[in-house]
Amino acid sequence: MTDITVPARKPARPHFSSGPCAKPPGYSPEKLATDSLGRSHRAKIGKSRLAYCIDLMREVLQLPDTHRIGIVPGSDTGAFEMAMWTMLGARPVTTLAWESFGEGWVTDAVKQLKLDPTVLRADYGQLPDLGQVDWSNDVLFTWNGTTSGVRVPNGDWIADDREGLSFADSTSAVFAYDIPWDKIDVATFSWQKVLGGEGGHGVLILGPRAVERLESYTPSWPLPKVFRLTKGGKLSEGVFKGETINTPSMLAVEDAIFALEWAKSLGGLEGLKARSDANSAALDKIVSERDWLGHLAADPASRSKTSVCLTVEGADTDFIKKFAAVLDKEGAAYDIAGYRDAPAGLRIWCGATVDAADIEALGPWLDYAYATVKAG
């Protein structure tokens, strides 16, 4: 057997997981503020840190004052389900699905809420025809499909004069793209994605039309306490000022604050976008130089710049498992196997918390793993 050359240089931070994602450069737990730890989240220090976290998210996201931000339980899933359970049912629903999490929202709408939605689907690597969306309906979609590497190219397809609400699962998109907030009535995400924060907490963003829905419509099904956003027919404004529905982890909040302050130091959203763009360009160069690698998302206009999903020539699930294990053992790349429900392949996070130099260093290691597994 021909000797396989081990690359000379490893990525300095081989963290390429698509969630939880790499911590920001320079991160260490010792750098977190700790005055709020061990204190009640309802104490002055707790409320102030939660409010500060919300203010930082607004600033970095360039979110207009028309939209409210709330920290809620259950990561992005909890935030999106909170929106579905509290607002859907007032009018017809359209759900878009081109990857695993979009399919999850279809399941919730069909089997749990029994709404009989219109479902527009596409295979992994593709987008459905966005021109077929009926905006007299409430519309649910993922801005960036983390498990397929496919994103909507922009917000042009969202009608300005829509009658329904737009619900955007934005967990791999915020802090990486320009989101047209005037087109978005509901958005959700979690800190564990583009910010490299901790899991367990979701963020719910409501535009004025979503607030109007909450205050004018009561769903026919019962709502658990952690989903209740109104009281006496009015929005519970405190939720959007740091008065969380249930007890948050102040350690996770401080972790998110660290990431947001780091983002500000880069110049905010523009700095984050530039880093993600550089990372995805570096990975695209690696792909273009190897005939055995390809993009699952064939169209560059709808290809993710954060969760980049790759095809490997001739690979099945077992091949990918061995491929990822080689790199994990060498400490060259962690957690790069594709999502379990997706076609067999690789998934490499290119969000802003990853360094382009580490993406560049990854290329020879992909060659090494491919040759090693092929050699048996």
Task: Specify the CATH number for the domain of residue 91.
Answer: 3.40.640.10
Tell me the average pLDDT of the chain.
96
12 lies in a domain?
Answer: no
CA nearest neighbour of 126 among 299, 344, 308, 340: 299
Q: Cα separations (Å) of 176 from 22, 124, 305? A: 14, 21, 8
117 and 214 share one domain: yes
Inter-CA distances, 65 with 176, 212, 327, Å:
20, 16, 45
Do both 252 and 282 map to the same domain?
Answer: no
CA separation for the pair 119, 25 (Å, rounded)? 41
Residue 132: count of CB within 10 angstroms of its CB? 11
CA nearest neighbour of 347 among 369, 370, 324: 324
Residue 2 has pLDDT above 70, yes or no: no
pLDDT level of residue 376 (50, 70, 90 thresholds) = confident
Hey, what are 370's tokens? Answer: 């491919």
High-pLDDT (> 70) share of the chain, %: 99
In a domain, 199, yes or no: yes
| Average confidence (pLDDT) over 323-340 | 97
Q: Given this model, what pLDDT does residue 245 score?
A: 87
pLDDT digits (tens, 9 = 90+) for 229-250: 999 999 999 999 999 988 999 9
Length of the chain: 376
Asked whether residue 287 falls in the same domain as residue 351, the answer is yes
- For residue 155, pLDDT beyond 90: yes
Q: Using CA atoms, how far apart are residues 91 and 363, in angstroms rounded to an integer?
A: 49
Q: Collapsing DSSP states into helix, strand and coil, what is residue 235?
A: strand
Q: What's the domain count of the chain?
A: 2
201 close to 249: Cβ distance less than 8 angstroms: yes
299 shares a domain with 256 = no
Q: Are 320 and 348 in contact (CB under 8 A)?
A: no
* Domain assignment present for 347: yes
- Residue 20 falls inside a structural domain: no
Partners of 346 in the β-ladder: 310, 337
Strand spans (E) along the chain: 68-73, 93-97, 118-121, 138-142, 144-145, 150-151, 166-169, 186-190, 201-206, 230-231, 234-235, 293-295, 307-312, 346-349
Last residue of a domain, one of 264, 283, 308: 264
Residues 101-153: pLDDT tens digits?
999 999 999 999 999 999 999 999 999 999 999 999 999 999 999 999 999 99
Residues of the chain above pLDDT 90, percent: 96
Q: Are residues 174 and 291 in the same domain?
A: no
Task: Look up residue 164 and give its two tokens.
Answer: 């329904």
Query: 253 CB contacts (<8 Å, ≥6 apart)?
Result: 36, 49, 50, 53, 71, 201
Amino acid at 220: S
Q: Give the pairing of strands 144-145 and 93-97.
A: unpaired
Residue 187: pLDDT band (50, 70, 90) is: very high
Collapsed DSSP state (helix, strand, coil) of residue 346: strand
Residue 1 has pLDDT above 70, yes or no: no
Mean predicted confidence (pLDDT) in 175-189? 98
pLDDT single digits (tens) 278-329: 999 999 999 999 999 999 999 999 999 999 999 999 999 999 999 999 999 9
Question: Please, which residues bridge with residue 15 across strands?
Answer: 334
* 231 & 297 share domain: no
Average pLDDT over residues 340-357: 96
Domain CATH code at residue 315: 3.90.1150.10
CA distance 36 to 202: 20
Q: Residue 314 is part of which domain span?
A: 268-375
